[in-house]
Amino acid sequence: MAKKKKTGDAPKKTENPHVKGLRADVLEQPIVDTLEWNYMPYAMSVIIYRAIPEIDGFKPSHRKLLYTMYQMRLLGGNRTKSANIVGQTMKLNPHGDAAIYDTMVRLSRGYGALLNPYVDSKGNFGKVYSRDMAWAASRYTEARLDPICGEFFRDIDKDTVDFLDNYEGTMKEPSLLPTTFPNVLVSANQGIAVGMASNICGFNLGEVCDATIARIRNPRADLFQTLKAPDFPTGGQLLFDQAEMEKIYETGRGSFRVRCKWRYDKKENVIEVYEIPYSTTIEVIMDKVVELNKQGKVKEIADMRDETDLSGLKLAIDLKRGTDPEKLMQKLFKSTPLQDSFACNFNILIAGMPRVMGVGEILDEWTAWRTESVRRRAYFDMKKKEERLHLLKGLKKILLDIDKAIKIIRETESDAEVEPNLMIGFGIDQVQAEYVAEIKLRNINKEYILRRTGEVDTLADEVADLKDLINSPKRLKEVIISELQEVKKKFATPRRTELLYEFSDEAPEETVEIPDTPVNLFLSRGGYLKKITQQSLRMASEQKYKEGDEAYLAWETSNRSELLVFTDRQQCYKCRLSDFDATKASALGDFLPSKLGMDDGENVLWACIPGDYSAHILFCYANGKVARVPLSAYQTQSNRRRLTGACSDKAPLAGALLVEADQEFVLISSEGRAVIFNSASLAPKATRTTQGVSVMTLKPKWQVVAARPLEGSGIVNKSRYRSRSLPVAGALLKPEDKGEEQITMQV
C-alpha cells in the first residue's frame, strides 16, 4: 500500500522525464492539496470580503466607500467631486477607481437602484432601468452622503462596532456599520460568490421598521400584518401569491412576479408603459417585442418607441386599428420582460459564515446584533461618566476645604510633589489629584464649587441608570424600538410597488381563424417546399426546380395540417402549413433550412404529414436495422418547433416510411440483394433514438440503399425475398424485379 502523503508537506521536486537535454523541475502536488492551498482561500475571500452582504446590509465595498465619505465630512456638508471620493476610498479599497465609482453610482439617488439612496448625487448617474444610458465620468459628477446615512454612523465613535486595520495597516475601518434599522432588508442587494450567491429584494423602510418592532415585542407576530411584500424603486405591480410569499418569509428562497404599469390612450390608440419590473431594462423589453413582431407572434403592434425623458420612464406602443389593449398586454406579459420574475436568495454573512435565512430569522439576527451595539454604546457612555464622576468626587473633597488645598500647594517646594501632597492630605488618588492641580485659580469661587459638587449626584444617577440599562434586555429593546420609530418618522416613504391580489395569469387564446382549404405540397430533394392551391395547380402543373434538384415527396392535404421535417442532424422540425405562403408551380418555393431556422450545414432528409399522430414511422438504417417509432412520440403540448434526438445517430438513415396500417416493405442493399418483411413483425419503440432491430444482415462493404413499400416496387417474384425469420441476408434481385432503383426514400 502506498504511503499516504501528509497534509502540509512541501511538494516534491522531480526531474521531468519528457524534457531531454534541458533542466526542468516539476512540482508534484495532489489535486486535493492544490484545491486546499490555492482555490479555497480564493473562494473564501470572495464569499467573505466581496460578494455576500453582512447583517448591516452592506458588502465591504459599500462600507468602505460610505465610511470614507463620512471621514471626508460629507454627511451634511457640501458635495465634492466624485473623483475626489474615489481617490480617498482607494486607501481602504484597492480595487481600482472604476470599481469604486461603479459602486458609488449604484448607491446614488440619480441611478435609482435603491428605495432609500445613500449618496446624494449631482450630475448624470445613469438609470437602473436603462442598459444603454451610461453615467458620466467621475470628474464630471459630484456627491455627498444622503441624510439617511446619519443612521449608519450614529455613535460609531462610541465603540458600538469593532474596527480593523486596512489592507496596509495604516488606517482603521469599521467591520460593520451600526445601522439603527434593518438596512439588510431595505436595500436590494445582489452578489455572486464562488459556489453560492445572494439575491435580496428590498422592502419598504416604514414597513420594515413596523415589522421589526412587532417582532421584538412578540416573536410570534404575523409579519404579513406589517411587512406586506417586497417593494422596488422602479414600482410596478407585484402579483401576490400567498403560498409563495410565505415560503420566502420562512425559508429565504422562492420567487415572485412583477409586471409593468401601463395606461391606454384611447385618442391616440397608444399604450404607455411608465413603470417596469426592477429586474429588466427598457432596451431588453424593446428587443424582445421586436423579435416577437418579426416572428409574427405580435401582429397587433404598429410601432414601439422609447419616450423616456426628464419626467421619467415611458415606452409608447402604437396599436393597429381594432386591437384590444387588454388582450395584447396579457400576451406581452406572457412572452416579454414586461412581466418578470424575481428569485430570492436571502444569503447573509453572520459572524463570517454564510446563512440563508427567512425574513423572521433575519430580523431576529439583526435585533440580537443591534442589542449588542446598544449595550456597547451604553457601556461606553457609562465608563465615560464613571471617569467624570471619579474626578468630581476628588474635586468635591478638595473644594470642601479649599484653604487646606491652597496651603498644601503653597508650602510644597517642588512641582513634582504637588500631586503626592494632595493625595496624602485629602486621601485621593493620582488621577483625582492631577485633575485638581490643573484647576485655574479663577475657578476657586463659590459658584464653581457649588456647580461642580452638584454634578456628582446627577452623574451618580446617570451611571446607575446606564448600569441598569446594560443589564436589562427589556430596556435595551425599548431603546431599539424608540430608534426605529424615529427612523420611520424621518425617512419612511410611501410604497412604490402596487400589490395585485387578483390578477389574470392566462394569455388570451389566439382567435385567428386558419382557413381549411385543400392544398398540394411538393418537396424537392434540395429542401424546397411549395404549397400550391388546387386552382393554381390546375392552371399550371409543371413543377420548376433549381438546376441539379428534383422532385422528392408530394402530398394532398389541408392548410391546417402540420408538417414534420427530419434532418441529417437527427432533429425534427415541426411547422404548420398555414405559416407558409401559397405559391405557384413555376416558383422554387420556401427553402426549409432557412424557413425553419436550421443549423448551418443541416439538410432535409425526409418529411411527413402526421395527421392525428396515430400512425408509425419506420426508420431504415444503412446497417440493416429498422426502428418502428409511433408518431405520438413527436406530439408535444407546447409550441416547440424543434425536437432533438428525433432518430438514432448510430448509422446513416437509408429510408423512412409512414405506416398507417401494417403492410409489407422491401429493403435493398448496395450488393443488389432484397428482403421483404412485414411491419407487423416489428414492435413499436417508445424511445425516438432507438437503434431498432436487425432485418437485413450485411457484409462490411455493403449497406442498405433503398426502402419502400412492396406494393408498387416492381418486384414480381415476391416469395423469393420473403423469409420466415429475421434477420436474413436476402436474395439477389433478378433483372425483372429491379424496378425503379433510383428511388431511395419513400413517403
Give CA–CA dist 166/271, Å, rounded. Answer: 53
Helices and strands (H and E) in the chain: how many: 20, 35
Give CA–CA dist 621/653, Å, rounded. Answer: 4
What mean pLDDT is predicted for residues 220-247? 94
299 touches 323 (CB < 8 A):
no
pLDDT band at residue 504 using 50, 70 and 90 as cut-offs? confident
Is the domain of 525 the same as that of 472? Answer: no
Is the domain of 102 the same as that of 143? Answer: yes
**Where is pLDDT greater, at 724 or 629?**
629
Structural domain boundaries, residue 546: 513-562+569-601
What mean pLDDT is predicted for residues 7-29? 52
> What is the domain count for the chain?
5
User: Is residue 203's pLDDT more than 90?
Assistant: yes
Query: Among positive and negative, which fits the CA dihedral 474, 476, 482, 483?
Result: negative
User: Residue 39 domain-assigned?
Assistant: no
pLDDT band at residue 226 using 50, 70 and 90 as cut-offs? very high
Give CA–CA dist 422/365, Å, rounded. Answer: 52
User: Residue 86 domain-assigned?
Assistant: yes
Q: What is the DSSP letter of 36?
A: I
Q: For residue range 85-104, what is the model confidence (pLDDT) as tens digits?
A: 999 999 999 888 999 999 99
State the DSSP H helix or E strand holding residue 559, giving kind and residue range, or none if neither.
Answer: none
User: Residue 244 domain-assigned?
Assistant: no
Is the domain of 725 the same as that of 665? Answer: yes
Helices 242-251 and 359-399, packing angle to 10 deg: 50
Contact partners, residue 462, CB within 8 Å, separation at least 6: 385
Detail the DSSP E strand segments found in 70-184.
Answer: 80-81, 119-122, 142-145, 163-165, 172-174
pLDDT of residue 434: 83
- Check which CATH number belongs to the domain holding 710 and give it: 2.120.10.90
Is the domain of 616 the same as that of 731? Answer: yes
User: Is residue 410's pLDDT more than 50?
Assistant: yes
Is the domain of 618 the same as that of 726? Answer: yes
Is the domain of 479 the same as that of 541? Answer: no
Give CA–CA dist 108/356, Å, rounded. Answer: 28
Query: Among positive and negative, which fits the CA dihedral 56, 499, 285, 504?
Result: positive
User: Residue 94 domain-assigned?
Assistant: yes
pLDDT of residue 16: 47
User: Residue 619 domain-assigned?
Assistant: yes
Give CA–CA dist 539/79, Å, rounded. Answer: 82
437-446, 551-560, 685-694: range with lowest mean pLDDT: 437-446
Q: How high is the mean pLDDT of the chain?
A: 88
Is the domain of 672 the same as that of 730? Answer: yes
User: Residue 736 domain-assigned?
Assistant: yes
What mean pLDDT is predicted for residues 714-734? 88
Query: At residue 92, what is the residue type?
Result: L
364 touches 286 (CB < 8 A):
no
Q: 3-class DSSP state for residue 485?
A: helix
Final residue belonging to a domain, choices 153, 179, 205: 179
What are 539's strand-pairing partners?
none
71 touches 30 (CB < 8 A):
no
What mean pLDDT is predicted for residues 615-623? 93
User: Is residue 50's pLDDT more than 80?
Assistant: yes
- Joined together, the cell numbers standing for residue 645 give 434526438
- Rounded to a whole number of angstroms, the CA Rg of the chain reads 41
123 touches 110 (CB < 8 A):
yes
Final residue belonging to a domain, choices 179, 204, 224: 179
Which member of 39, 42, 49, 140 is catalytic? 140
- Check which CATH number belongs to the domain holding 82 and give it: 3.90.199.10
- Check which CATH number belongs to the domain holding 307 and give it: 3.30.1360.40
Final residue belonging to a domain, choices 149, 179, 209: 179
**Where is pLDDT greater, at 18 or 708?**
708
Is the domain of 630 the same as that of 716? Answer: yes
Q: For residue range 644-702, what is the model confidence (pLDDT) as tens digits?
A: 889 999 999 988 999 988 999 999 999 989 999 999 899 998 889 999 999 999 988 89
613 included as an active-site residue: no
Q: What angle do CA 46, 52, 55 make, to 5 degrees?
A: 135
Cα–Cα distances (Å) from 219 to 215, 216, 361, 363, 536, in that order, read: 5, 6, 10, 10, 79
pLDDT of residue 640: 66
Is the domain of 411 the same as that of 474? Answer: yes
pLDDT band at residue 746 using 50, 70 and 90 as cut-offs? very low
Q: What is the DSSP letter of 672?
A: S
pLDDT band at residue 297 using 50, 70 and 90 as cut-offs? confident
- Check which CATH number belongs to the domain holding 453 and give it: 1.10.268.10
Give CA–CA dist 201/189, Å, rounded. Answer: 7
User: Residue 635 domain-assigned?
Assistant: yes
Q: In what order do the strands lie in the sheet with 562-567?
A: 604-608, 562-567, 571-576, 642-644
Closest by CA to 576, choosing from 549, 556, 596, is: 596
Is the domain of 618 the same as that of 745? Answer: yes
- Joined together, the cell numbers standing for residue 133 give 444610458
pLDDT of residue 440: 77
Closest by CA to 498, choosing from 286, 182, 204, is: 204
93 touches 172 (CB < 8 A):
no
Give CA–CA dist 239/235, Å, rounded. Answer: 12
What mean pLDDT is predicted for residues 716-737? 88
User: Is residue 506's pLDDT more than 70?
Assistant: no
**What is the distance, to the nearest Å, from the Cα of residue 25 to the centroid of all Cα atoms in its chain?**
45
Give CA–CA dist 102/179, Å, rounded. Answer: 23
User: Is residue 744's pLDDT more than 50?
Assistant: no
Q: What angle do CA 682, 686, 689 make, to 5 degrees?
A: 90
- DSSP for 331-347 reads HHHHHSTTEEEEEEE-E
Is the domain of 478 the same as that of 591? Answer: no
**Where is pLDDT greater, at 150 or 635?**
150
User: Is residue 426's pLDDT more than 70?
Assistant: yes
User: Residue 705 domain-assigned?
Assistant: yes
HEC string for 178-230: CCCCCHHHHCCEEEECCCCEEEECCCCHHHHHHHHHHHHHCCCCCHHHCCCCC
Is the domain of 331 the same as that of 439? Answer: no
User: Is residue 8's pLDDT more than 70?
Assistant: no
User: Is residue 22's pLDDT more than 60?
Assistant: no
